[in-house]
Amino acid sequence: MRGHAWKFGNNIDTDLIIPARYLNTSDPAELAQYAMMDADSEWVDKMSKGDFIVAGDNFGCGSSREHAPIALKAAGVSAIIAKSFARIFYRNSINIGLPILEAPQAAEEIKEGDEVEVDLAAGEIKDLTTGKAYRAQPFPAFMQKIIDAGGLINYLKRNN
């Protein structure tokens, strides 16, 4: 996957990712219109499908709303690269099949607008603008199986 980087800071909470005032629906296309609304109200119009979010520590802290990763996925975000993720957001992303990569150095060094290429299977992140390559933390084998199945529900169906 290839796209441009959009940088966000530390502790990006789920209210910034998708404000609760839009949670009276769980329709992905509708939620996508409001992705990152309170962090940058024009972001959805500026970003292109396939782009990456590159953020600091504790991305996705706060509420358990699965609408947050759903909104980002439906908006066309191909993966999130962060220094670290909040626990429930991490679980939710794996469960719904939104790729997330924990890569502190990449999250620090990649600049807004850089062209980024990610090889998920290899856990490799390349900043094509600077030519630097980074490795993401590998997932435990059990989580990798959920990811490979395309999320928790598919994994359960496969194993039932």
Partner 1 sequence: MPQTISQKILAKHAGAKSVEPGQLINCKVDLVLGNDITAPPAIKEFEKIGVSRVFDKKKIYLVPDHFTPAKDIKSAEQVKVMRKFAHKYGIVNFFEIGCMGVEHALLPEMGAIKAGDLIIGADSHTCTYGALGAFSTGVGSTDMAAAMATGEVWFKVPEQLKFVYRGKLPKWVEAKDLILYTIGQIGVDGARYMSLEFTGPVISKLSVEGRLTMANMAIEAGGKNGIFEPDIKVFQYLKSRIKNLNSSFVIRNSALRSDPDAEYAKIYDWDVSELEPQVAYPHLPSNVHPVSKNRHIKLDQSVIGSCTNGRIEDMRVAAKILKGKKVHPDVRLIILPATQQVELRMIKEGLMEIFIKAGAAVSTPTCGPCLGGHMGILAEGERSIATTNRNFVGRMGHPKSEVYLSNVAVAAASAVLGFIGSPEDLK
Do strands 52-55 and 115-119 pair parallel, antiparallel, or not at all (unpaired)?
unpaired
- Least separation in angstroms between residue 132's CB and partner 1 is 26
What's the closest the beta carbon of residue 125 comes to partner 1, in angstroms? 22
Closest CA to 2 of 112, 113, 53, 78: 78
CA distance 44 to 5: 13
Q: Interface residues for partner 1 in 86-145 (CB under 8 A)?
A: 86-88, 91-92, 95-96, 140, 142
Q: Which of residues 51-70 bind partner 1 (CB under 8 A)?
A: 57-58, 61-67, 70
Under the rule (CB under 8 A), what is the footprint of partner 1? 11, 13, 15-16, 19-21, 23-26, 37-39, 41, 57-58, 61-67, 70, 84, 86-88, 91-92, 95-96, 140, 142, 151-153, 156-157, 160
